[in-house]
Chains A and B, each alone.
Chain A
Amino acid sequence: SAVISQKPSRDICQRGTSLTIQCQVDSQVTMMFWYRQQPGQSLTLIATANQGSEATYESGFVIDKFPISRPNLTFSTLTVSNMSPEDSSIYLCSAPSGQNTGELFFGEGSRLTVL
């Protein structure tokens, strides 16, 4: 099973600032995924991070607000730009297991609170 490390694990941010979340996987993976989980809710896919090409964003999420980098097969970053209190959420990085089933493994999450 893959081990996925995220940082920061939590942060308190001021309105209007930006924060970059880092995600490191202990093995090479073709695709990495970024999810948002707002309090008491389930996971919403933000975008798929592809190595060597631009990220693919889901409806309701745009690159200017959530720029993503994927410089190699083990690392990705998600930036939450120009934050507002509505961006307070847990952001989760994930990657497929590599098994035939293709289940996702998740990082520990980054809990952001925007004041």
Chain B
Amino acid sequence: GQNIDQPTEMTATEGAIVQINCTYQTSGFNGLFWYQQHAGEAPTFLSYNVLDGLEEKGRFSSFLSRSKGYSYLLLKELQMKDSASYLCAVRDGGGDMRFGAGTRLTVKP
């Protein structure tokens, strides 16, 4: 079967750094994606990894290890507006995007 696992909830303080982990087992691998979803809104694309290593995009970075089936999303200098759900997704061998259950991040003052 296919599994994409990530923590259900996390809490962090404004200005801090938070790391959201994701492990996956899928039928084939064609890239790992992170999406942000604010309550009541559609998901929006944050980052993409297809090779091992770190991809940095402003305050957000994403890491991938294909051999370990592992990724993380790193958010720096947290702001209140970063409170949202963060969805880990894998494009499988068939080209379909499979989503984890999402991690609900709460940023506190």
Q: Which residues of A contact B (CB under 8 A)?
A: 31, 33, 35, 41-45, 48, 58, 92, 94, 97, 101-109
Q: How far is the CA of A85 from the CA of B48 in the complex (A)?
A: 36
Q: Given A43-B99, A45-B96, A108 and B31 touching (CB < 8 A)?
A: no
* A108→B96 contact, CB < 8 A: no
Q: Which of B80-109 contact A (CB under 8 A)?
A: 87, 91, 95-102
Known contacts A103-B33, A103-B45; A41/B101 CB under 8 A: yes
Binding site for A on B (CB under 8 A): 31, 33, 41-45, 48, 50, 87, 91, 95-102
A residues near B91, Cβ cutoff 8 Å? 102
Compute how far the CA of A105 lies from the CA of B41 in the bound complex, rounded to whole angstroms. 12
Kindly report which residue of chain A lies nearest to residue B101, judged by CB atoms: A42
Q: Which of B31, B42, B48, B96 contacts A48 (CB 8 A)?
A: B96
CA distance A105 to B33 in the complex (A): 12
- Would you call B87 and A105 a contact (CB within 8 A)? no
A31 to B91, CA, bound (A): 14
Alpha-carbon gap, A92 to B97, bound state (A): 13
- Minimal beta-carbon separation of A88 from chain B (angstroms): 15
**A103 cross-chain contacts in B, Cβ below 8 A:** 33, 45, 48
Task: Please name all residues of chain A whose beta carbon is closer than 8 Å to the beta carbon of B102 when the two chains form the complex.
Answer: 41-42
Most chain B CB within 10 A, of A35, A44, A104, is at: A104
Contacts of B98 in A (CB 8 A): 45
Are B42 and A92 closer than 8 Å at their CB atoms? Answer: yes
Pick the 6 closest A-B CB pairs, nearest first.
A106-B42, A103-B45, A101-B48, A43-B99, A42-B101, A42-B99
Report which of A41, A45, A107, A109 forms a contact with B97, defined as CB distance below 8 A. Answer: A45
Given A43-B87, A45-B96, A97-B45 in contact, is the A102-B31 Cβ separation under 8 Å? yes
Contacts of A41 in B (CB 8 A): 101-102
